Amino acid sequence: MPCCKVGTDSSGPFSPLRRGAERLWLGRTPTLLAWPKRCVLVSMVFVGFSLAAGIRRSFVEAAYSLQRESHWKMFNNDTSSGNWTTDFIRSFQSSFTWGLFIGHVIGSALSYKYHANSVFAAAILLDSSLHLVVAGVMQVHQIFLVSLLFLQGVADGLTFPAFFSLLRYWAPPLERTRMFAAGYAGLHFGSLLSFQIFSVFESLFSSTAGLYFYGMLGILWVLPWFLLVSETPSKHPGVSTREKIYIIDSLQTQEHIPFSQPTSVPMRSILSSGPVWAILLASFGRTWTYNTLLHIMQWYYNDEIRYAKEIPYFLMMVSVVVSGFVADGLQEKNLMTTSTVRKTFGGTGESH
């Protein structure tokens, strides 16, 4: 059964190439250069999201580590570690979350006007650079940390709309959900891995050593990103003709709109649309509930059962990838329409 049937014509000029290329999702050869470039894109996004999640979690782990240190030092009237109360740590997380919200809005505009691959790279670079500053001032200027974490939240928020913008050019309709799920799973994998990495660096060096590690790793990630990822298939110097034709033919649309002549956005129609507001409210409610429960669980795990705090991230990483493939499979076999898949998986899980 053809993988991409949405809006295609079996007698079109690209049909023979499409039929030969439409199963390229996992590739046929073991070499990286022959790997489908959309798989390379998703892999690099996975690593980028893993680093972003590791940056966020490494700060939280360092903060709780300093809190434990300050509890011991307070008995000796030693305040060199600062007053790391639970409420203070939560205020840091709150400032990051507000920045994340604003970053989504800014990132949407930037990804529309500029090259999405550059926006994604700039976001990780800024987030990583700020993390090095955070590591340097963490035990000195706690108030200054609020501003730094807010800016980190803004940088982190830029990545999501940039990834969505890249998918509009690279993701064939019946691969879109699993490509999104595979990239997005990096957030959960990064959080899961960061616990182990932080523990190693804390035991070998100090509470802030893990922050320097993630900051430097994020900066180094930018170089292979620009070498391996382009915004559109037509701009990628290494994409095969077969894969390029497959993507363009499956999308049945122009793969690139000149950024110097952006099309006008019908904001009045968008803001007066009932379905748009339904999606916004549903997304807001899901995100609010998700972050609230996740933060509450992490606070509980840090206070009571620290060894179990990796479990939610592991389960989310597995479920988001599996559900992504299931969602695409349901559409490919005509068991569900795209709209039904989005509503069903959006209401029951993360991958939609």
Is the distance from CB of 53 to CB of 96 less than 8 angstroms? no
**Structural domain total, the chain:** 1
* Residue 176 lies inside a defined structural domain of this protein: yes
Instruction: Check residue 299 and give its pLDDT.
Output: 67
CB atoms within 10 A of CB 227: 11
Q: Output the CA torsion sign for 101, 180, 287, 131.
A: negative
Does 146 reside within a domain? yes
pLDDT in tens, the chain (352 residues): 334 433 333 334 334 434 443 444 444 444 555 688 999 999 999 999 999 999 988 888 888 777 777 655 544 455 555 567 777 777 888 888 899 989 999 999 999 889 999 999 999 999 999 999 998 888 776 778 889 999 999 999 999 999 999 998 999 888 888 899 999 999 999 988 988 888 888 888 888 888 999 999 999 999 999 999 998 888 888 888 888 888 888 887 544 444 444 567 787 888 888 888 888 888 788 777 777 777 677 666 666 666 667 778 888 888 888 888 888 888 888 888 888 887 777 777 654 4
How far is C-alpha 339 from the geometric centre of its chain's CA atoms?
Answer: 23
Residue 242 lies in a domain: yes
pLDDT at 237 (0 to 100): 87
pLDDT at 215: 94
- Pair 66, 84: CB distance under 8 Å: yes
What is d(CA 51, CA 155) in angstroms, rounded to the nearest whole number?
Answer: 13
Asked, for residue 11, whether it belongs to a domain, the answer is no
Closest CA to 173 of 4, 342, 344: 4
Residue 334: inside a domain, yes or no? no
Cα separation, 260 vs 248, whole angstroms: 22
Give the pLDDT score at 88.
Answer: 76
Give burial (CB, 10 Å; 0-12/13-18/19+) of 174: buried
Instruction: Decide if 6 is inside a domain.
Output: no
Q: What sign does the CA torsion over 129, 321, 224, 103 have?
A: negative
Query: Which residue segment(s) compose the domain that 78 sits in?
Result: 34-253
CATH of the domain at 72: 1.20.1250.20
Would you say residue 311 lies in a domain?
Answer: no
Does residue 225 belong to any structural domain of this protein? yes
What is the torsional sign of CA 39, 185, 221, 256?
Answer: positive
